[in-house]
Amino acid sequence: MSEKPQIPDQQSHDPLLVQQASAALDDSLNEIDAATRSKLNQMRHRALEKKTSAWQRMNLSQWGAAAACTLAVTLWLGQTPNPTELSNGVEASLADTSMPLLQEDLEMLEDLDMLFWLAEIKDANDVG
């Protein structure tokens, strides 16, 4: 098994370089422009607001109530026909009710014809 080359401790840590780099990074924070700082500020507030949103403030009993409501609504929806089924049902029932009406109308028209024919015969007989 080959050993990895060891870097001497002093050389690997170089405290002066690390110190200078840390100072440079600290200085670079002051160079962050106002727009970015403002954006960071907004993001922080948004993140904290999210925590205190209504959903997360709900306690166990409120979650239980919400779950029960969801279940009840689901069951109710399961028993109720969906809107498509409902509209189809309405159309079907309308078709069912309109058919006899239409048939009655036709029968009445035929009756009217017969009545007119009867009236004509009667008139002819009266004249004759």
Contact (CB, 8 A) for 37 and 45: no
Establish if 2 lies at the interface with other proteins (CB under 8 A): no
Three-point CA angle 9, 10, 13, nearest 5°: 80
Rounded-to-integer distance, Cα 20 and Cα 30, Å: 16
Query: Which residue among 2, 34, 52, 126 contacts other proteins (CB under 8 A)?
Result: 52
- Scanning 48-56, 67-75, 90-98, 102-110 for contacts with other proteins by CB under 8 A, the matching segment is 48-56
Report the first-to-last Cα separation within the chain, whole angstroms: 136
Query: Which residue among 1, 2, 3, 47 contacts other proteins (CB under 8 A)?
Result: 47
Query: Which residue among 1, 7, 54, 101 contacts other proteins (CB under 8 A)?
Result: 7
Establish if 84 lies at the interface with other proteins (CB under 8 A): no
- For 57-90, letters b (16+ CB in 10 Å) and e give eeeeeeeeeeeeeeeeeeeeeeeeeeeeeeeeee
Establish if 25 lies at the interface with other proteins (CB under 8 A): yes
Task: Kindly tell me which of 48 and 101 has the beta carbon lying closer to other proteins.
Answer: 48
Task: Kindly tell me which of 51 and 125 has the beta carbon lying closer to other proteins.
Answer: 51
Rounded-to-integer distance, Cα 126 and Cα 128, Å: 5
Q: Which residues form the interface with other proteins (CB under 8 A)?
A: 4, 7, 11-14, 17-18, 20-22, 24-25, 27-29, 31-32, 36-37, 39-41, 43-44, 46-48, 50-52
